[in-house]
């Protein structure tokens, strides 16, 4: 008798209909127990930084309280922003020929005089790359020491730069109507402004 019961159990375990029923029960239980979004829950808070060119400030706002803004004065009109891994912002101050390091939490600002007309910013590993139309190139600075590592030639009036995963740079050259991608130069729209 016990041998017959064991055979019945073994054959029941391999019965496709029973396996399908078991899997259906498991799937329904997983769907029922899965976490669900809470209706009307507040979205996560996000801090945004905005360059106020005319007001010579970085405006910090929290998306959960957009009416509450904080202004951090910088020594010149800010153009572009990029976040460093440590949370500080690098700000290009083109007319002042400088970069500003801004701690959005404390409001501390450190100015780095670099000369020229620094504008577009991007991170490329441990290097900050900065477009500079005064030299028609992309200048490179070591993050932390801020020592200049040389300039890469670009088209006329390089405006914005983006670092590509393969290590090349994409540069929008406003006056030459081109986009440089590494060594390649492509004609694009009139006065290209940005790349992403």
Q: Specify the pTM.
A: 0.75
Question: Whose CA is closest to 100, among 75, 125, 123?
Answer: 75
Mean model confidence pLDDT for the chain:
85
Within the chain, where are the H helices?
2-13, 16-33
| Span of 6-15, 36-45, 113-122, 156-165 with lowest mean pLDDT | 6-15
SS3 6: helix
* Mean pLDDT of the 152-166 span: 93
Burial 72-92 (b: 16+ CB within 10 A, else e): bebebbbbbbbeeeeebbbbb
pLDDT tens digits for range 26-77:
555 555 565 655 555 555 668 899 999 999 999 999 888 878 889 999 999 9
């Amino acid at each position: 008798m016990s041998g017959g019961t064991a055979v019945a159990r073994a054959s029941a375990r391999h019965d496709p209909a029973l396996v399908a029923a078991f899997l259906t029960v498991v799937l329904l239980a997983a769907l029922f127990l899965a976490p669900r979004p809470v209706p009307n829950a507040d979205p996560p808070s996000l801090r945004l930084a905005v360059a106020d060119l005319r007001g010579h400030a970085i405006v910090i706002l929290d998306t959960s309280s957009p009416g509450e803004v904080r202004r951090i004065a910088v020594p010149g009109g800010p153009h572009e922003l990029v976040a460093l891994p440590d949370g500080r912002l690098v700000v290009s101050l083109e007319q002042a020929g400088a970069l500003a390091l801004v701690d959005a939490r404390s409001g501390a600002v450190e100015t780095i005089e670099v000369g020229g007309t620094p504008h577009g910013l991007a991170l490329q590993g441990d290097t900050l790359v900065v477009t500079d139309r005064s030299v028609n190139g992309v200048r490179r600075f070591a993050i932390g020491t801020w020592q200049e590592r040389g300039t890469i030639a670009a088209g006329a009036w390089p405006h914005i730069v983006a670092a590509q995963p393969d290590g090349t740079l994409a540069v929008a050259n406003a006056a030459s109507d081109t986009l440089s991608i590494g060594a390649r130069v492509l004609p694009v729209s009139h006065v290209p402004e940005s790349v992403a």
